Amino acid sequence: MHNMLFVCHGNICRSPMAEFVMKDLVAKAGLESQFHIESAATSTEEIGNPVHPLARQKLREHGIDCSGKTARQLTRADGEKFDLLIGMDSANLRNMRRICGDSEEKIHLLLDFTQRPGDVADPWYTGDFDATWRDVLEGCRGLMEYLSRLDRAKNK
């Protein structure tokens, strides 16, 4: 079972986009029973708020529904509960380490699973939800490939 949590600053743009893109990729691969996927925020600013309207729109354009998702904050218990904690940028990683403590081997950046590691730009500031969509999709596809390689290695 792959148990993962996507994390960004407010849990209304990037991390819910990653959560629902990953759920969509997993469903299309018929692997729902092998994954548990959620998302959370490092801050308290947006707790209880729905996914940002432009992020919802971008997901909807690609046939992905995120209805019912509201922002929640990352907790220390999440560091124990999840096998992978996947941040969107380096500031998220610092805050994730502060909140979760000794979870270093579990914490990664989403774009580290691609050929171009780095930060997923925050569309809250850039206004570019298209670029965020492309980064999130590429990162989630790379993560799926990485996990597939791990599973194949385990089953040898």
Catalytic residue positions? 8, 14, 122
Q: Which residues pair with 8 in a beta bridge?
A: 41
